[in-house]
């Protein structure tokens, strides 16, 4: 392989564990993302708390019944910001380029998860994204705005156990998420991802979250990337993904036609 040593190291780690957790690659973009969130949230909630305290204590500021409405408001505002997607790509660029490639498509609209303590309304069922129509060639970049650990974070299962337990889960697909979670809870790993870190993971692996048993609210962003030339599933280019790093040879090749005799 002709990859540089740094790329070989990160790729080996990703293939072995199914994920990597790294420092944000661009600290200025990281600060700018937080400034954007600070402005959106302060305008909406009009709270006198500082930014960090608002994130930690969202459960005290937003009624459970209005949480999804609030989340959708923030998602709309952040995706309306023309700089936001580029800032997000900047914080994970060298890792995504190494793992996925440098001619990329990126999810058109980034997603946001807000999970309050003891709230069972924001749970992500035990799943693999490919079960719901995602391409097996995608990766997910998961970016927390707060320190995430234990049940305030997300869990993931190894490749070996995913292969084994996928069959078991499908046999029990009519059972509740809690019952399925109980089947696998001894085989999953809860990931510790502090603020200022990014997680890039293999979404073919079984993963999800559970009830946040910690005392503070979780805020995390997620976005999918894939190589433009790898196979698509139900989420297509133009509809769900858009190109972000096409090279000149590719652009020329896409419009080239052989001369007719």
CB 229 within 8 A of CB 151: no
260, part of any domain: no
CB 144 within 8 A of CB 218: yes
CATH classification of the domain holding 49: 2.60.120.620
CB 157 within 8 A of CB 188: yes
Q: Measuring CA to CA, which residue among 244, 241, 177 is closest to residue 210?
A: 177
Distance CA 75, CA 235 (A): 20
Please list the pLDDT of the chain residue by residue as tens digits (261 residues). Answer: 788 999 999 999 999 999 999 999 999 999 999 999 999 999 999 898 999 999 999 999 999 899 999 999 999 999 999 999 999 999 999 999 999 999 999 999 999 999 999 988 878 888 999 998 999 999 999 999 999 999 999 999 999 999 999 988 877 766 666 778 888 999 999 999 999 999 999 999 999 999 999 999 999 999 999 999 999 999 999 999 999 999 999 999 999 999 988
| Structural domain for 92, as ranges | 5-255
The pLDDT assigned to 14 comes to 98
153, part of any domain: yes
Q: What's the domain count of the chain?
A: 1
Provide the 10 A C-beta neighbour count for residue 104: 20
Distance CA 181, CA 247 (A): 44
261, part of any domain: no
């Amino acid at each position: 392989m002709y990859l540089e040593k740094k790329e070989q190291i990160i790729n080996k780690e990703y293939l072995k564990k199914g994920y990597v957790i790294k420092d944000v690659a661009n600290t200025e973009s990281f600060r700018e993302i937080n400034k954007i969130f600070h402005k959106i949230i302060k305008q909406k909630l009009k709270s006198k708390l500082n930014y960090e305290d608002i994130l930690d204590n969202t459960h005290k500021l937003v009624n459970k019944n209005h949480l999804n409405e609030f989340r959708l408001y923030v998602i709309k505002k952040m995706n309306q910001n023309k700089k936001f997607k580029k800032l997000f790509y900047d914080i994970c660029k060298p890792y995504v380029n190494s793992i996925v490639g440098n001619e990329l498509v990126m999810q058109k609209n980034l997603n946001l998860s807000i999970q309050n303590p003891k709230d069972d309304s924001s749970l992500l069922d035990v799943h693999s994204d490919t079960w719901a129509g995602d391409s097996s060639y995608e990766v997910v970049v998961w970016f927390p705005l707060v320190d995430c650990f234990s049940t305030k974070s997300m869990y993931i299962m190894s490749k070996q156990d995913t292969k084994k337990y996928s069959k078991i889960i499908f046999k029990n697909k009519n059972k509740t998420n809690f019952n399925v979670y109980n089947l696998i809870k001894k085989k999953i790993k809860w990931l510790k991802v502090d603020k200022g870190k990014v997680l890039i993971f293999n979404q073919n692996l079984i993963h999800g979250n559970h009830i946040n048993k910690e005392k503070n609210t979780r805020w995390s962003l997620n976005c999918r990337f894939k190589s433009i030339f790898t196979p698509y599933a139900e989420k297509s280019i133009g509809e769900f993904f858009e190109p972000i790093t096409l090279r000149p040879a590719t652009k020329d090749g896409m419009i080239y036609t052989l001369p007719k005799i």
